[in-house]
Chains A and B, each alone.
Chain A
């Protein structure tokens, strides 16, 4: 899922970062991954996630790539967001993880 708008708008912005602990019992697997990527796609910003603060970074809009991360319960998810609506995007991502994807 390439988002041309996002990359154009963000070339000069400084990335925003934040992190949250995965509280739902099975980690970032099928349903949470779908939820997370759907939410991410609602923003123009480039959104990436990682298991450690300095990467490697994964496109948070790709369910296939997010599933490859295999993030278990208790893992800390780091987010890196760049784009005009980056602040809202980061807040939404962190809220989703905090709330256990609305399922805990």
Chain B
């Protein structure tokens, strides 16, 4: 047995070891009865069982996940979906083949859709197809994945993730997938390590028994040699001990070994992440991504909806500062009906502030909601993808205009400080020319734009290194400008959570770092080990 090393992208941090549950193998062979009536009955029973399983699952979830599952139930209950399969069965085709062909035809229709939203629904149809097939073949369904397993497969749906038991450890290793997927978000929230983009998982016909998942480095080792496993278990034990120690100091303020106070803030991608979280673990929220408000199936959010969400977040922090980033759509975050379609290179296209300035009617609504929320706590507003000073100036003029308009209408509001994200090298090189009230370094984009290498292109991923001297020089430059201008500089990209970079980042003079809640304890422990 030779161990298999695969490198992908880290989607959720942590180390895990466990037996492998291969998702694609869930569909076992089935022996057809050869009798159309019995085949039809088998399909009917499988559809009913799948529907019952989904209904049970719906009872345990809320919001958008529940909507997607309800959609699946509605589709399964529609004769239009099943009639093709029953027709084929009466012509002598086995139930599983008939069902698969009927669904594959439906799925092909979705995949060929012009609209991204309809294309994305193909995944739901695949989910429906496989759930019924699993019942037809009597194979173990996803609901029966043993807790503590390493789930390996092409991709995993939110319903599958929610069906598995994560209280006993376990991890996810995917051939495809994305760190920005809904499942990656759920995995980070539950502390389940996850690696995506591993490439084709081929085991020469024999699936692996055991896997080691490193959600920090983005690597997976299948069927490790005893020595590899021993070393990994050592690392896990050390990491666990460090986590226990770090968790104990989670609510303590972060200080370096030589007594420098470092502010540790948290990044929030959806307000649900704050549920059950103690605000005492952080010095505030360094980044609220607002894309979640726009990614729903409900259309663009109105002013009151946005205001209610911003206010709720401000109230959670209990007077700690909250930095909310205006919509950062485009690039890898398309939003139907808003972002430009078919750009040859979306990362260099109409995204972030460029899109907001191009769609003032959408931007204005967000600015008004932010101005109204600002009366409920220390809010700061941050503009993404700023490249030149006039972009900042135009946004500032719009913010002031909406502030004046709200005041004229007699609506309670306050004008929050307006800052910029430094993620385009042009902004880092000319930071002093911006009238920004603060700078927040978006290390993910700053790294990819400086190094001209994307994280998700495996062949150049090693170039995408925030620790590269060129990127660190731009960070140090921004920190220096902030010091001279007397405004705060923070860093809110993934690099802040990579403890191997903590020393390099603190050496630039940064005193404020913002990371996902799960990384707070680890970062504070790393900071405590730093001495300048």
Residues of A within 8 A of B80 (CB): 1, 59, 62, 64-65
B117 engages A31 (CB within 8 Å): no
Distance A70 CA – B124 CA, assembled complex (angstroms):
15
Q: Is A103 positioned at the interface, with any CB of B under 8 Å from its CB?
A: yes
Instruction: Identify the closest chain A residue to B82 (Cβ).
Output: A64
Check A100/B299 contact, CB under 8 A, given A2-B79, A34-B74. Answer: yes
Check A26/B297 contact, CB under 8 A, given A63-B78, A64-B75, A72-B115. Answer: yes
* A-B CB proximity, top 5 nearest: A25-B299, A103-B298, A64-B80, A25-B337, A30-B71
Q: Is A67 positioned at the interface, with any CB of B under 8 Å from its CB?
A: yes
Q: Is A83 positioned at the interface, with any CB of B under 8 Å from its CB?
A: no
Q: Is B304 positioned at the interface, with any CB of A under 8 Å from its CB?
A: no
- Distance in angstroms from A60 CB to nearest chain B CB is 12
Residues of A within 8 A of B460 (CB): none
Q: Which of B79, B109, B114, B297 contacts A68 (CB 8 A)?
A: B109
Q: Is B3 positioned at the interface, with any CB of A under 8 Å from its CB?
A: no
Residues of B within 8 A of A100 (CB): 299
Residues of B within 8 A of A23 (CB): 299
Q: Is A86 positioned at the interface, with any CB of B under 8 Å from its CB?
A: no
B121 engages A67 (CB within 8 Å): yes
B299 engages A26 (CB within 8 Å): yes
A63 engages B74 (CB within 8 Å): yes
Residues of A within 8 A of B75 (CB): 63-64, 67
Q: Which of A31, A37, A67 contacts B297 (CB 8 A)?
A: A31
Distance A98 CA – B497 CA, assembled complex (angstroms):
46
**How many residues on the A side are at the interface (Cβ–Cβ under 8 A)?**
28
Q: Is B209 positioned at the interface, with any CB of A under 8 Å from its CB?
A: no
9 contacts between A and B (CB under 8 A): A1-B80, A26-B117, A27-B115, A31-B71, A34-B70, A62-B80, A63-B78, A67-B75, A70-B113
Check A32/B297 contact, CB under 8 A, given A64-B81, A72-B115. Answer: yes
Distance A104 CA – B80 CA, assembled complex (angstroms):
29
Distance A13 CA – B300 CA, assembled complex (angstroms):
40
Residues of A within 8 A of B109 (CB): 68
Residues of A within 8 A of B336 (CB): 25-26, 73
Check A27/B81 contact, CB under 8 A, given A34-B74, A64-B75, A104-B298. Answer: no
Distance A70 CA – B121 CA, assembled complex (angstroms):
11
Q: How does the 8 Å CB contact mask read for B479-515 relative to A, with 1 for contact and 0 for none?
A: 0000000000000000000000000000000000000
Distance A27 CA – B117 CA, assembled complex (angstroms):
9
B297 engages A30 (CB within 8 Å): yes
Q: Which of A2, A24, A37, A103 contacts B74 (CB 8 A)?
A: A37
A62 engages B70 (CB within 8 Å): no
Residues of B within 8 A of A73 (CB): 336-337
Distance A26 CA – B71 CA, assembled complex (angstroms):
15
Q: How does the 8 Å CB contact mask read for B113-150 relative to A, with 1 for contact and 0 for none?
A: 11101100100100000000000000000000000000
Residues of B within 8 A of A62 (CB): 78-80
Distance A103 CA – B106 CA, assembled complex (angstroms):
27
Task: Give residues 70-126 of B contacting A (CB, 8 Å).
Answer: 70-71, 74-75, 78-81, 106, 109, 113-115, 117-118, 121, 124
